[in-house]
Chain A
Amino acid sequence: MIDPAEVGGVPQIGPPVVEVDDLEVNFKGRVGFIAGLMGRKGYDAKAVDGVSLTLHEGEVLALAGESGCGKTTTARAIMGLIVPEKGTIRFKGKVLPRAVGALRPYRRQVQMVFQDPTASLNPRQTIYEIVAEGLRIHNVNEGPNGEGEEQLVAQALSRAGLRPPERFYLLYPHELSGGQRQRVVIAGALVLDPSVIVADEPVSNLDASVRGEILALLMKFLEELRISILIVTHDLGLAWTVADRVAVMYLGRVVEIGPAEEVLQRPKHPYTKALLNVVPKAGGTERPILQGEPPDPTRIPAGCRFHPRCPVVATGRAERLGILGRCTGEDLALDQIAPGHDVACYLTELGEEP
């Protein structure tokens, strides 16, 4: 266990809120009817394959990676939306039950904000009904200070920046702009006074100019309400703006995790470096870009799962350093290289940079 006070030199980080241990999620492979009769079986997709993470109180943890790396699946498992094959998720020290009904009190504490606000909002409900729905589902008739339903909805809307709240009660989602819709989604999450918000690409569907405002809103809750945020994103620039710590995932595993300053400025895993290379920068496209498509989780390569695309292997550097055999043949786990900074790469044992 890492002392949270040491992590990234951010002293305000509190005790663990969500602890994920060795999480595994498989999606069953399917085959056609005839192939099934012939006894053929589909390949299972190992979307998440042994992920351990800790989210501390008052912390923003960014989960980054390409499409299909398992970042959203991890987030959904944490929400209790997917039952994992293996592994445990603890919330404030208690192991999550597997029965869906028993998850209800937990779901009140952990709220989710999805990518597309238009898809998350029921087009036939008014804004008031949308925000109040959570309260009704969880039978919350009274707030912590004796507030009624309307007061709680008004509070959540104005916290989410929709002021004056009364003006929005009777509007429908289509009458709002994209940014306002995402604020309604956030208000719906806030109304239940959660301790964790899981945000899956919360701004990638919004106009660039509106993104900052929505992020600033989330950052404000962090300070005012002492909540924790797990943010799932493919955008490392976003991680730089909001995250305390960054976890980079590849093919169902975390390959590097640590303080944002370290991971994003001094990456130790070749994959993290490759991801940073493709963040658009002024001055042309002349920099190394990883070839190939996002990998297939039904066919996980032996050894380090990144080795077929790894530039260190492709350039022959791994061979010169004498680690090629292990890269291609020996699976490896995360290894601590500094307090709070873990990397899964054979280069780090040699003290080499990617």
Chain B
Amino acid sequence: MQGISELIKILLIISVYIFIFIIFKYLYLDVKLMRNLRYDKYPYLKLLNRKSDISFKVEETYNIYKSMKIGRATHNDIVIKNDFIDKYHAEIKIEEEKYFVNTYANTSLMINGKVIKGERELKNNDILQIGTIKFVFIREIGE
């Protein structure tokens, strides 16, 4: 009887440690995931503004893994709730491994300081300005 309860106690302590280990593993995966977000294999838009200057919600990076729409409305893939941005402002398209930015009828945006209407190809390190928000487009070549 003595032996059994001793054994159960040891099993119990082991099970508590297994629990801690599992939780720890989850947290480890969490950290790993956080670190990998920015260095994904997809090209991405990186925010250039200081985040403290912005009073609305913008992510630091947006990975471009499909054609994506930018705008104020929640149906867009990249939602930026700023008054200087139209409900449906622009679209980033992927065609034959090339990236294009396309504005809608009455919107415009700036690439490297020039006002753009209609469609244009995006290259690595192009600076994309939508309203007051600036992004840099980064596409690592060779991947």
Are A and B genuine complex partners?
Answer: no
- Interface on B for A, CB 8 Å cutoff? none
